[in-house]
Amino acid sequence: MREIQKTKEEWQKELTGQQCFVLFEKGTERPFSHPYNDNKEEGTYVCAACGTPLFSSDTKYESGSGWPSFFSPIASGNVEEITDRSHGMTRTEVVCRTCGGHLGHVFNDGPKPTGLRYCMNGAALKFEKAE
């Protein structure tokens, strides 16, 4: 049971079509299409649907994948990892623990210290600039 539960219609009133597609239809934006991929400002990336803090700019790095990438979430309890066997492969999906929104996938080809690459859709995130 998620902390925040809304109908598809409720989410559509609050989010853009692209955000709804990515977050609640498990869609993926085109690589290199979101401004967060190149964002170098300091701050926090939160869930675009519910505002849960997900990633710090301190853990963001340039992966070359075309999507914002991080080597660690802010808190492991803020994201949930789920086995994804869609598209004829096995991957690890990352969702917001609070609302269940699809964020992207995590892979084992990231930098130290974790060796992980949290490859996130920019449409699933909102950036809160540090003050």
* Annotated binding-site members for Zn(2+): 47, 50, 96, 99
- Closest CA relative to residue 50, chosen from 16, 77, 15, 22: 15
Q: Cα torsion at 9, 102, 61, 33 (round to 10°)?
A: -50
Q: How far apart are CA 17 and CA 61, in angstroms?
A: 27
Strand partners, 87: none
* Annotated binding-site members: 47, 50, 96, 99
Q: Positive or negative CA dihedral for 61, 124, 27, 95? A: positive
Residue written as token pair 């859709």: 121
Of 48, 119, 120, 125, which is the active-site residue? 119
| Amino acid identity for residue 63 in this structure | S
Instruction: Confirm whether 119 is a catalytic residue.
Output: yes
Q: Which residues are catalytic?
A: 119
